[in-house]
Amino acid sequence: MEIEHTFGKGSKKPVDDNAPKRPLSAYFLFANKMRPGVMKKHAGCSMAIVGKEIAVLWKKTSSSDRAPFEKKAASAKTSYQSKMEKYQKTSGYKKQQMRMLAWKIHETKKPFKKDENAPKRSLSAYMLFSAFIRSKIVKENPDLEVTEVMKEQSVRWKDLGDSDRKKWTDKAAGEKKKYDTRLARYMKTADYQSYVTDRDAYKAEMKEKRNKLMGVKKRARTPTKAKDTPKSPSKKKAKRRSRTPKASKSKSRSASRSSSRRRAKSPKSPKRRSRKRRAEKRKSRAPKANIRSSSRKRSSSRKSRTPKASKSRSASRRSSTRRARTPKGPKAKRSRSAKRRSRTPKVSRRSTSRSTSRKSRTPKASKRRSKTRSKSRRRSTTRSRSAKRRSASRSKSRRRASKKKASE
């Protein structure tokens, strides 16, 4: 587009001086050879008559006489093609192509020819004055050039007073009114309509060419409905009915959005609490086994007073090992708050069990029982850990054995 702006009204097609010259055809080689002899015969004749005479001679020549000219033209064409292929790879060729494209786009922007049948436009006040004063200036100064005469006209127009200038402005206004009336009459004629159709067709054609050169694609327009066709009342009623639920939908959407915003602002405390409670319940399930084992240990400690205490302890150990063999799921990590909460019920249970046991105990046996309970708890924790490790190792060995059997 920058190159296109450099072209003016009288711009010519750009020529590439660096490009290889095109070769002459067989006919032009024959014409160059025969032209001097034809010009001697027809001395004083125009070049058009000489050209026609050469064309007649070319038609009369046989194929054998034409063969040397045709061979020479073919060899020149092959050499031109090889040179042109090399030149097309250079930067000069690309610049020339850009100039040619800009020139073609500039050609599409040329205006349509003027309407010959249209009335001529009226002259302005200055042009009327210059036409009147020009003859006087030329008579007074016959040696002046056209440009100097024009300068003298502008100087005299500036020197005119308001009263003298008003005469010319009034005259120009009267002529403009006459021109407007003529133009209004002409626009109603068939000649003007035919000119308008030709002008519109030319503009559309030039626009298509310009879009092709610039690589612009057309957009598909949707067909517009006719406004003149009357609409039925049933359709209007249906449209009015269809509009009402849309408003309700918009209202419901706005209400739902506002409610969702209010909910987002308020803290989601109940859901979090429920999740925490579930986690606490899952975590509190694990210490229940310890409570059972502790109760069993207490019962075993009570039975230890009797001579059958050793049997009860061995039975409790077996039951704990059986439970340890069953693989347990991975324990969830307890938070500090959950640990504190899980500790509180244990104290109550211990207090209740201790209160019941204190009633049945003698005053001397209380210290011994507390010592035995702490020892039994420590042993049970160590045993449960070792049992878990054993169960994990056994499950791994079983899986490996099953895989080996499957592979075999």
Q: How much is the pLDDT for 331?
A: 52
Q: The tokens of 339 are what?
A: 């640990």
Provide the residue range defining the domain that includes 81.
2-108
Domain assignment of residue 83, yes or no: yes
Residue 3 or 255, more confident: 3
Domain assignment of residue 115, yes or no: no
pLDDT band for 253, please (50, 70, 90 cuts): low
Output the domain CATH number for residue 12: 1.10.30.10
| Arithmetic mean of pLDDT over the chain | 76
Domain assignment of residue 38, yes or no: yes
Let me know whether 74 and 129 are in one domain. no
Q: How much is the pLDDT for 379?
A: 76
Domain assignment of residue 338, yes or no: no
Dist. CA 177–CA 163, nearest whole Å: 22
Kindly list the distances between the CA atom of residue 28 and the CA atoms of 79, 93, 331, in Å, as whole numbers in the listed order: 18, 27, 103
Burial of 47 (0-12, 13-18, 19+ CB in 10 A): exposed
Let me know whether 147 and 100 are in one domain. no
The tens digit of pLDDT for each residue in 16-68 reads 989 999 999 999 999 999 999 999 988 888 899 999 999 999 999 999 999 99
pLDDT band for 282, please (50, 70, 90 cuts): confident
Q: Final residue of a domain: which of 63, 83, 108? A: 108
Of 200, 64, 51, 174, the closest CA to residue 122 belongs to 174
| % pLDDT > 70, the chain | 62
> What residue type is assigned to position 192 of the chain?
Y
Domain assignment of residue 387, yes or no: no
Let me know whether 175 and 130 are in one domain. yes
Domains in the chain, number: 2
Q: Final residue of a domain: which of 156, 186, 214? A: 214
The tens digit of pLDDT for each residue in 64-88 reads 999 999 999 999 999 999 999 999 9
Domain assignment of residue 132, yes or no: yes
Let me know whether 95 and 17 are in one domain. yes
Domain assignment of residue 292, yes or no: no
pLDDT band for 148, please (50, 70, 90 cuts): very high
Compute how many other C-beta atoms are within 10 angstroms of the C-beta atom of residue 31: 19
Mean pLDDT of 284-305: 49
> Is the whole model's pTM more than 0.75, yes or no?
no
Distant-in-sequence contacts of 53-62, Cβ < 8 A, 24+ apart: 54/30, 57/30, 58/27, 58/30, 58/31, 61/30
